[in-house]
Amino acid sequence: MENCIFCQIAQKKLQAQIRYEDQQVIAFDDVNPKMPVHILVIPKKHIESVNKIAEEDTKVVGQLILAAAKLAKQLKIEAQGYRLIFNQGQHAGQVVNHIHLHLVGGQRLGPMV
């Protein structure tokens, strides 16, 4: 997708601090971190949001979670814990319309729900 900033990061047209990459997935630091660890894990394929996940996308969505867990281990936060978040739409505050899994941690997180 031409005007998508996360597609541009995936294609290395836009700079980001990349933390993980494989054929389907790329992960990079959030430019405006809300926690000591705040990484965005995205599919290289443009999927707009959780609402737009198709049957054929279920594998890559699983790979996002696996990549996040690997990163948590690498960053040594897996034992203390962390949170994985998909924001969907306006009420959740989704601002980038390319699906992304937030990996946040590095400190105690308040209850969400």
> Where along the sequence are the contacts to Zn ion (CB under 5 A)?
1, 4, 6-7, 46, 98
Cα 82 to its chain centre, rounded Å, is 13
Strand duo 37-43 + 25-29: pairing:
antiparallel
Quick one: 91 exposed, middle or buried, by C-beta within 10 A (0-12, 13-18, 19+)? exposed
How many whole angstroms separate alpha carbon 83 and alpha carbon 101?
A: 10
Locate tokens 């996040």: which residue? 68
Nearer to ligand 5GP by C-beta: 55 or 110?
110
100 among known catalytic residues:
yes
Among 11, 12, 22, 31, binds ligand 5GP (CB under 6 A): 31
Among 18, 20, 21, 30, binds ligand 5GP (CB under 6 A): 30
Nearer to Zn ion by C-beta: 19 or 98?
98
Rounded least distance, CB 67 to ligand 5GP, Å:
16
Binding site for ligand 5GP (CB under 6 A): 5, 16, 28-32, 40, 87, 93-96
